Structure 1
Amino acid sequence: MRTLRRPGSLLWPAALLALACTAPIAAADPGAVAQPVAACAPAQAATLVPAAIPVLDWSENVGYDAQGNLWVSRLYRNVVQRYDRSGALTATVPVEFPGAVRSGPDGLLYVVYGDSPTSAVRPGGVVRFDPVAADPKPEVFVSGFTMPNGATFDAAGDLYVATMAGVVRVRPDGGIDTAWTEQAAVNGANGVVAQGRTLYVTANGSALGRIVRLAIDDPSAQTVVAGLSSPLPGLPDFADDLLVDADGILYVTTLGGQLVQVDPITGSTCAVLTGQPLTSVVATPGRPGELLAGTEGGAVLRVQLPR
């Protein structure tokens, strides 16, 4: 989630209203119109990692390294933190306004930095480091992005970073595929996940709460999968991070405090969890049906999906 949300306000309904009023929805694009999110069998959530100081510990993103350690981006503390399987803190690495944390095909951990409005004058990018080092030292992999947030790797090892202007493709050597990137404009891109030769992107630009499908082999070929509504009747929600499971089903976190299941084939949506604003989501390795979710309050939740 972008840092246009200010810590401590706890007034997300007002924020949604303001964003809805300033972001016109294009009538010609039916997928951009927020559709009601149905309720379905509820997931069960419990706190895995509590927040030491609510909101200051804002957990912007969550991800695993190749060894199964959990990494959490603490946006307002300017660090990413490593936790073992029991939830115990084992390392803290300085990263400025960290966003997505993703394990790369080379075993290194890649962390988006500069997830802040200040990146307009102090550009962000991606750092990487050895996640099992006793004292990990981040080094810049690529830079020059405005408000980067989400990230994902494809099977070929290319890295895709969601920025305010759209999706950037970064080659394994750190070079930017400019021609591809120019075709992948998605206004207000936030989260991104790869499935085969397809990317799914959350976007909150000209319309809020959209999930956009983008073809890797033709990034200009884009369709809106769904538009999400908030728990407040008639208002769209702010779509944040997302993942895709082994069955091709999407799970999307929202500012309105929803974990939404989205069928990308039919566009049907179903909220499996509601409550506090959710920032990010990751599947737990080796535990089918279990996810972890980051929150604005800072706690990391263990979510057991309904069977």
Structure 2
Amino acid sequence: MSVSKPRRPIRHGWFTAALIAVACIGFGAPPASAEPVAGCVPAAASTVLSPGVPLLDWSENVAYDAAGNLWVSRIYRNEVQRYDGSGRLTATVPVEFPGAVRLGPDGLLYVVYGASPTSAIRPGGVVRFDPAAATPRPEVFVSGFTFPNGAAFDTDGVLYVASTATGVIKVRRDGTVDAEWTARAPGAGANGIEVRDGIVYLTSNAGPLGRVMSFPVDAPERRTVLADLSSSLPGVPDFADDLLVDPDGIVYVATLSGKLVRIDPRGGAACTVLSTEPMTSVVAVPGKPGELLAGTERGGVLHIRLVP
């Protein structure tokens, strides 16, 4: 099923700025900063997909399929785009306000739709389709969510959706929601999410802004704050968008202020490895340790090389 015809886009950047302004009211001491510390070497970045039309080509999320094609959510074009290894656009799939793109255990690509405040009236959810098809056709996997944004699978194929409006939602393999688990999980403000080794990692931008936390899959009420990120402005928190957890358990968070923040959950140390343009998402390059791609608000995609 194709999830709707494109409509006039909501200006997501303005909405984000409003969130920052509201969240800053009433803050006392500034949150923990993510500035360079000993042992945190700066990363190098270059552009692999050039920015397009401002705002319209905003790249909300990036992901790879099993064949190594890159998929980019163009939230204001109401579509996800497929690029081959040379950066050539090979397919577009209509999805209304697409958010996270994730490869499922069945080889299908799962895309969050309705990643917009308009989902309060027109609910969102998740669609799926065959990424290898010449003309992929999305069908609804689960629906009824308000402002779904991030998504992640665990090793059992269970899908976790981060809803900015309501919190983390657990979706079973058959597309039904585990309401009991969901009621115990973190609430409004949820954004980026990943699951690794039985632990859920989450960014949240409500109470306070820029929070990065973790909790066990089996005990979502047991939460650990990993970091509260700050922007380059003194006393102003950052907006934490999507995140990545590498094979060593290190967390990388993309932020509105243009930082890529490295967090070591074992000691809680956080530092900035890259300062660039506002980033929305980050994904590991398959088969190339230490190399990442990041989506940006301008619409380009950055290649980031981490230094061991």
**Equivalence for 1:20:** 23
Question: Partner of 1:34 in structure 2?
Answer: 31
1:189–1:26 distance in 2 versus 1, CA, 3 Å: farther
Deviations along 1:181-235, one digit per CA (max 9) or x if unpaired, are: 1111333000000111110100001110001112100111112111001011111
Contact 1:25 1:206 survives alignment (8 Å): no
Contact 1:244 1:251 in 2 (8 A): yes
Q: CA deviation at 1:128?
A: 0.1
Partner of 1:153 in structure 2?
153
The answer for the alignment partner of 2:270 in structure 1 is: 269
When the two chains are superposed, the root-mean-square deviation of aligned CA atoms in Å is 1.9
CA-CA distance at 1:51 after TM superposition:
2.0
**Residue of structure 2 in register with 1:142 after alignment:** 142
The corresponding residue for 1:67 is 67
* Compared CA separation, residues 162 and 280, structure 1 to 2 (3 A): same
**Percent identity, aligned pairs only?**
61
Quick one: structure 1 residues 147 and 54, their matched pair in 2 at CA, closer, same or farther if it must change by over 3 Å? same
Q: Distance in 2 between matches of 1:54 and 1:44?
A: 24
Amino acid at match of 1:102: R
Relative to 1, partners in 2 of residues 1:16 and 1:235: Cα closer, same or farther, differing over 3 Å?
farther
Unaligned runs of 5+ in 1: 28-32
User: Is the Cα–Cα contact under 8 Å of residues 152 and 193 in structure 1 kept in the other structure?
Assistant: yes
Letter in 2 for 1:288: P
Distance 1:69 1:279 in 2: 19
Report the AA paired with residue 178 of structure 2. Answer: D
Shift of 1:55: 2.1
TM-score (norm 2): 0.92
Deviation (angstroms), 1:259: 0.4
Structure 1 partner of 2:306: 305
Aligned counterparts of 1:6 and 1:97: Cα–Cα separation in 2: 10
Deviation at 1:54, TM superposition (A): 2.5
Distance 1:233 1:125, change over 3 A: same
* Deviation, structure 1 residue 160: 0.3
Judge which range, 121-130 or 37-46, deviates more.
Answer: 37-46
Matches within 5 A, 1:77-156: 77-156=77-156
Task: Report if the CA contact (8 A) 1:26-1:206 is conserved.
Answer: no
Q: Distance in 2 between matches of 1:187 and 1:120?
A: 13
Partner of 2:173: 172
Provide the C-alpha distance between the structure 1 equivalents of 2:19 and 2:119, rounded to a whole number of angstroms.
23
1:231-280 Cα deviation digits (max 9, x unpaired) = 11111101000010011000000011100001112211111111211000
- Cα contact 1:257–1:276 (8 A) shared by 2: yes
Taking a change above 3 Å as real, the CA distance of residues 245 and 274 of structure 1, as seen in their structure-2 partners, is same
Name the aligned partner's letter for residue 121 of structure 2. Answer: V
Partner SS, residue 219 of structure 1: coil
Aligned counterpart, 1:241:
242
Query: Residue 44 of structure 1 corresponds to which residue in structure 2?
Result: 44
TM-score by length of 1: 0.92
Matching residue's letter, 1:263: D
Q: Structure 2: where are the runs of 5+ without partners?
A: 1-8
Deviations 1:262-301 (A, max 9, x none): 1112211111111211000000000100000000000001
* Map of 1:30 onto structure 2: none
- 2:233 corresponds in structure 1 to 232
The secondary structure found in structure 2 opposite 1:182 is helix
> Pairwise mapping of residues 257-296 of structure 1 onto structure 2 (< 5 A)?
257-296=258-297
Write the distance in 1 (CA, Å) between the matches of 2:28 and 2:195. 26
Query: Aligned partners of 2:234 and 2:214: how far apart in 1?
Result: 26
2:260/2:272 contact within 8 Å kept? yes
Contact kept? 1:123, 1:143, Cα under 8 Å: yes
Q: Counterpart amino acid of 1:193?
A: E
Cα 1:120–1:26 shift into 2, 3 Å: farther
1:268–1:62 distance in 2 versus 1, CA, 3 Å = same
CA drift at 1:21: 2.9
